[in-house]
A = this chain, B = another copy of it.
Amino acid sequence: MNFHYPSGKKYVTVDSTSKKHIKKSPTQFGKRGMSLEDELNESNQYYLSHGKAVVHKKPTPIQIVKVDYPKRSAAVIKEAYFRQASTTDYNGVYQGYYLDFDAKETKNKTAFPLDNFHKHQINHMKACLAADGICFTIIKFVELDQIFLLSATNLFYFWDQQKKGGRKSIPLNYVKKNGYLINYHLNPLIPYLDAVDDLLIKKHEGEHNAK
């Protein structure tokens, strides 16, 4: 299949008959102009169609005030307002595990500012974690073109300490050390379930040690 980047540049696929290339798929770079949301939606579509996981972005919550019902055509919403979501944006199921996460972009090059999160999103993730869900955040440092998966527990650590006068961002070095770097690939574009696998191993080790 031939396809093109929005720039019109032809995309060259790797010869799938070459064993050398099968073994280690080459690192891709983020599609220019694609938002993290688009990249994740495309990745989730890949995971869904390959029976690996069912993860969807939730629709934006809207407060509908006025709806018209024109004859012979669909209802038209004439007045509505954006509401603040009470949950994270993404959830779904992977190997029986409940996944719950948010995806955030920052242009900051040295740290991830905590004001990207709302209190209710943190509270929602805390509730999900208490119900034994797998919670994390996917952070994209846009200027560095680097994506990380950071466990909710790590995020809560920084969230909670900022109230006690702590710093208002998570240093990139901390994210590098405690999170999982996700390199762009071909299919899926953002193979974040590989990082979830590592997260699950860590979780089970923790449960084992606690016994």
Contact = CB atoms under 8 A, between A and B. Distances in A.
Interface of A: 48, 51-54, 56, 58-62, 74-82, 85-87, 91-100, 124, 127-128, 130-133
Given A54-B124, A62-B80, A75-B82, A97 B94 contact: no
Q: Is the interface of A mostly helix, strand, loop or mixed?
A: mixed
Contacts of A131: 51-54, 92-96
Given A56-B87, A59-B60, A59-B61, A133 B76 contact: no
Copies of this protein in the assembly total 2
B97 A96 contact: yes
B96 A133 contact: yes
Contacts of A76: 79-81
Nearest to A73: B81
Contact of A62 (B54, B59, B91): B59
Q: Which 4 A-B pairs have the closest CB atoms?
A: A96-B132, A93-B98, A77-B80, A59-B61
Contacts of A79: 76-78
B87 A81 contact: no
A112 B127 CA distance: 35
A96 B92 CA distance: 12
Contacts of A80: 62, 76-77, 80
A95 to B, nearest CB: 6
B82 A93 contact: no
5 contacts: A58-B58, A93-B98, A93-B132, A96-B97, A96-B131
A82 B68 CA distance: 12
A81 B92 CA distance: 26
A48 B127 contact: yes
Contacts of A58: 58-59
Given A76-B81, A82-B74, A95 B132 contact: yes
B93 A133 contact: yes
Given A98-B97, A130-B51, A74 B81 contact: yes
A81 B75 contact: yes
